[in-house]
Structure 1
Amino acid sequence: MQRLFLFLLLVIASATAVAQTTETPRKYLIYLNDKAGTPYSIQQPEQFLSAKSIARRTRQQISVTTRDLPVNPAYVQNIKATGALVWYTSRWFNAVVVQATEAQLEQINNLNIVKQSRSLNRVAGSSAELTYSTPDSDTTAVTSKSSVQALNNMYGRAFHQADMLGVTELHAAGFRGEGMTIAVLDAGFLAVNIIAAFSHLYQNNQLRGTFDFVTKKQDVYTASSHGTAVLSTMAAYEPGFMIGTAYKANYLLLRTEDAASEHNIEEVNWLIAAEYADSAGADVLNSSLGYSSFDPPSQSYSYEQMDGNTTIVTKAADFAAATGMLVVTSAGNEGNKAWQHITAPADADSVLAVGAVDSLTNIASFSSRGPASDGRVKPDVVALGQNTYVLNTAGNLVRSNGTSFSGPIMAGFATILWQGYNSKTNLELIQFIRQSGDRASAPDNIYGYGIPSYKRVVTGLPNLFANDGVQVVNPVAGNELVLLLSELWHGQKAEVQLLDATGKALKTYSIQVTADRQTIDLQPLALQKGMYLCKVRSGKQVATIRFVKL
């Protein structure tokens, strides 16, 4: 673990001084030809991935590939030798982000290791510390704590946005995000470290990492309040005032967006942050950011390029999903504007894109419309995004509008749902959430598959989860692990293996399946609180389920 994070810090901090010049350096993405000669190996992924990242892949039977390998350090040194400043490297794109003059760029392009370069059009030294109010945060009706606490409701005014999806029922069943990690990619998290409703994140060690990929520092508590509001819909916990949809999950707070301008560099920041989230072992990635139009001299995208394969950030989102992370992204707030369509990366085919409705389940006028330009249904689903309750930097509730908020509400729901149905892959879970929507029988390009609900999950359980026929009564509060096995397993001798979250085997049991319910005695193991794996095998039948020990 120490080796991994030393590696990450070296990548983040990697830099050389730019030679003094009268020309203003710009940023570029340098694509490399290959990873030949790299000292890293897919047979030793622990060199560049955390144990939790490897375990996530293992659970979903995803192999580590050459795309996961870090950029060859020798190639990076060749680029540094030109005098250019190396900001970041990208494993998935096999690329290097540099800040360089035109003369330095010409030297880089002449290197035989370089495939091509792309301008990111971000002028070095421009302001990145602007606190801003985003177009989708149309803030009204500030509510003080004293008035909300009078409500006879643990969730305060945020009850409806959680209950609409059945989050309150999942919480009551014991699924609140324990053992799951959510990476939040946003524009800044102003005052999160001093707001009372977030104090549990620090007290319970639920905040697992922060980094500002715009300015290359760990402090993310400046620049913007947008991420503060986004985070509150998932992580806030102050009973009687506000409770988020996944308040017991662990969090990574990653700043990728520079509010002072809009350039392609922000897509690349998103890419690098997603790779960081992968390496650190995030289960879910939430992004309330969307890209279509850019400031000159960057080139804006066309609707035709919203095809799931073209934009930098869309490719990054699909690569993130390929590692087993569940990527949840806002559809965009362009529905009542000239653009009207979804924005990238909502067009990606492996993400859950979320539109917005009001409290009466009517589509919000600003919610971006689909389809993706290749005809796929988008958005995938919708949640409350009009007059949504979020926290401002003073720690008070405000009503705000935007898919920026329907997205993370859905991300929290998806996280705790996955906690319960943990034998499923990220893509299976996306399909499951779609099919539990209230418009699943006739999806369209306004509501997508509609509003998912835990009630419909329970109703659809026999059909949607019949493929492996194994479930665990989860979480485990005592010393008995209860397995629920379908008739597929009856009459068979099965091997039950318990593993910790890293995949280390703890104990193996042999059982004869004679009924739907089988009990495993955990008392001799004296398990600590946390996440564990249960692998059940009989012949060619194999099922792996995560469970939480309370």
Structure 2
Amino acid sequence: MKQLVTSVLVGVSLLAGAMPATAQTTARKRLVYFKDKTESPFRLDQPGAFLSQRAQERRQRQNIPLTVQDLPVNPAYVSQVKAVAGVSYWYPSRWFNAVMISCDDATLAKVQALPFVRQASTLNRPAATTPQPTTYAPPVANIAVAPAGQRSTYGKAYAQAVQIGAVAMHDAGFRGEGMQIAVFDAGFPSVDKLAPLQPLFTENRLASTFNFVDKSKSVFLRDSHGTSVLSTMAADQPGFFTGTAPKATYHLCITEDINSETPVEEMNWLVAAEYADSVGVDIITSSLGYTTFDSQVPSHTYADLDGNTAIGSRAADLAARVGILVLNSAGNEGNKEWKYVGVPADADSIIAVGAVDSLGVRSAFSSVGPTADGRIKPDLAARGGLAAVLRPSGSVQLGNGTSYACPILAGMTAGFWQANRTRTAQEIITLLKQSGTQAAAPDNLLGYGIPDFVRAYNLANPGTPLSNRAARTVGSVRVFPNPTEADFVLLALPAELQRQTLQVRVYDGRGTLISLQTLTGQTAPVSLRTGRLAAGAYTCLINAGTAQYSTRFVRQ
């Protein structure tokens, strides 16, 4: 099934080269792999020739060395492929050591005969019928119910922001400043006109645009899905609509062609990820997914969902390898025959994002796991049931889809990484998982659950926890003796928490879960079973329904 991931609306040398000529009916897009990168002019000790300074610094912060895989393809090989009569050249891929071209079968045979070509595969074939664009479910018009507890600054975006702690994050001073996010989608019409998105232009925070479908820099066109996705993060019009990363810097990339569904779009995703890497992007958010292709093109099978088979999944993991934090929507197939996450959500080093409603209950359409090799998916969840988004008209509507859950969480992730800049991308993912509402018992419906900025921040910084009302750090919630020399502590509960069912988690300074205990009907101080504790600082999180309280203690 075609996915964007299909959200249901309710209410730079890499880019050089001319646009290929219109292909003949027998021309198809091909992926041509080279045997090696020998005799290339590019060198690992001269990364400035193919990576920006920002890209190099991202690797340095995370101690990620350059490898041969990072080197561009040999330009001599590219020139010889281009010189074959009948070849239309599209893009190189340094990570795959390959190029994407368009040609007929006879021309492909000539290309494959070149001595440096290892193999080639066909990415698309003529469809038996005219491909149909993505079909959206009918809009539910004039939704009048605003989120409960709406804050005027955020407008209808308040509930989805507060659910993951993004409001507390903003109050603490982290709004995405200095972070760069690449958005992969199907189009961004009216982004250059909508008032809530004008700060991107006036503050010079739209760093770049590229349309990998049409091979141009024009992105304010095509499908409006990307406009709505972007708005959940980047909108910055206090009093009307504020996203989760309103001060981040953005790169807008069109990789999805809604008029077809073939592996070409996964290749576009790969090339866009390499571009994002080269310009120094921190985070990729992608509300796209692939399972079923057009007729005459082999579709993915469940067995492909092992994180290592599909082009898109391999691309996502390679982006993670170079220190980019990748988030991808899980998919909207949860209540359909396929039901599983799509590609590249199955990749093992990224965050696949499922959808919940305003109460934190899983949306029935949210795709599920496990992957073919038994891994938990999705990884985390955010608001995707009746999420607030902007439309190209400038109106705010509510929409369903993991398409929206993904960028809403990506914006919070940007602020969280901003607040913990020395952490690696994989450490950020681990901390977010540990802050999830299902961290103690992750499953294949919502993964580790709904993460929270304050919980994650306090896990990352146990010595200097964030003092914020969102954390509900109440003076009468305390652990004693503190400091302690024993392997147990007592938890004193305020009246509001007595005789309730509580979940109590204790984490060490590295964010590792030390103990999990469920309390029922307690009134007196409760002994927490912690096991043998090493010297250090510990964080105690107490969940009472949707409310969370925190306190700390020290083991001497």
Which TM bucket (shorter chain)? 0.7 to 0.9
The one-letter code of the counterpart of 2:405 is: S
Inter-CA distance 360–74: structure 2 relative to 1 (3 Å threshold): same
Q: Deviations over 1:149-205 (max 9, x none)?
A: x97611011100000011001101110011110000000001111111100000000
Query: Is the 2:134–2:259 Cα contact (8 Å) retained in structure 1?
Result: no
The whole-number CA distance in structure 1 between the counterparts of 2:392 and 2:445 is: 32
Q: Deviations over 1:117-143 (max 9, x none)?
A: 11011559x999x9x6654x7643457
The one-letter code of the counterpart of 1:62 is: I
1:75 aligns with 2:74: no
The whole-number CA distance in structure 2 between the counterparts of 1:119 and 1:160 is: 45
The whole-number CA distance in structure 2 between the counterparts of 1:181 and 1:309 is: 27
Note the residue ranges of structure 1 that are not aligned, 5 or more in a row: 1-7, 474-550
Q: Deviations over 1:234-258 (max 9, x none)?
A: 0011111110000100000000000
Aligned match of 2:318? 319
Aligned match of 2:140? 140
Note the residue ranges of structure 2 that are not aligned, 5 or more in a row: 1-11, 468-556
SS at match of 2:192: helix
SS at match of 1:96: strand
1:31 aligns with 2:33: yes
1:354, CA displacement in angstroms?
0.4
The whole-number CA distance in structure 1 between the counterparts of 2:30 and 2:212 is: 15
1:95 aligns with 2:98: yes
RMSD (CA atoms): 2.5
1:14 aligns with 2:13: no
The whole-number CA distance in structure 2 between the counterparts of 1:115 and 1:461 is: 46
SS at match of 2:388: strand
The whole-number CA distance in structure 1 between the counterparts of 2:346 and 2:134 is: 25
The whole-number CA distance in structure 2 between the counterparts of 1:285 and 1:425 is: 15
The whole-number CA distance in structure 2 between the counterparts of 1:351 and 1:460 is: 20
The whole-number CA distance in structure 2 between the counterparts of 1:141 and 1:329 is: 28
Query: Is the 2:384–2:405 Cα contact (8 Å) retained in structure 1?
Result: yes
The whole-number CA distance in structure 2 between the counterparts of 1:22 and 1:422 is: 50
The one-letter code of the counterpart of 1:32 is: F
Moved over 4 A (4+): 15-18, 20-23, 470-473
Inter-CA distance 127–226: structure 2 relative to 1 (3 Å threshold): farther
The one-letter code of the counterpart of 1:34 is: D
Residue from 39, 48, 51 that aligns with 1:49: 51
Q: Deviations over 1:51-87 (max 9, x none)?
A: 1000100100111111111110000111112121111
Query: Is the 1:141–1:399 Cα contact (8 Å) retained in structure 2?
Result: no
SS at match of 2:210: strand
Aligned match of 1:240? 239
1:368, CA displacement in angstroms?
0.2
Query: Is the 1:134–1:226 Cα contact (8 Å) retained in structure 2?
Result: no
Inter-CA distance 96–15: structure 2 relative to 1 (3 Å threshold): farther
The one-letter code of the counterpart of 2:414 is: T
SS at match of 1:193: coil
Aligned match of 2:345? 346
Aligned match of 1:62? 64
Residue from 81, 85, 89 that aligns with 1:86: 89
The one-letter code of the counterpart of 1:284 is: I
1:457, CA displacement in angstroms?
2.0
Inter-CA distance 15–400: structure 2 relative to 1 (3 Å threshold): same
The whole-number CA distance in structure 1 between the counterparts of 2:203 and 2:183 is: 18
Q: Deviations over 1:4-33 (max 9, x none)?
A: xxxx2x432325977x99653111000110
SS at match of 1:279: helix
The one-letter code of the counterpart of 1:177 is: G
TM-score, length basis structure 2: 0.78
Aligned match of 2:215? 216
Inter-CA distance 143–417: structure 2 relative to 1 (3 Å threshold): same
Between the aligned residues of both structures, percent identity stands at 47
Query: Is the 1:26–1:99 Cα contact (8 Å) retained in structure 2?
Result: yes
The whole-number CA distance in structure 2 between the counterparts of 1:42 and 1:190 is: 39
SS at match of 2:123: strand
The one-letter code of the counterpart of 2:429 is: I
The one-letter code of the counterpart of 2:40 is: T
Aligned match of 2:174? 175
Aligned match of 2:470? none
1:472, CA displacement in angstroms?
12
Equivalences for residues 161-310 of structure 1 within 5 A: 161-310=160-309
SS at match of 1:182: strand
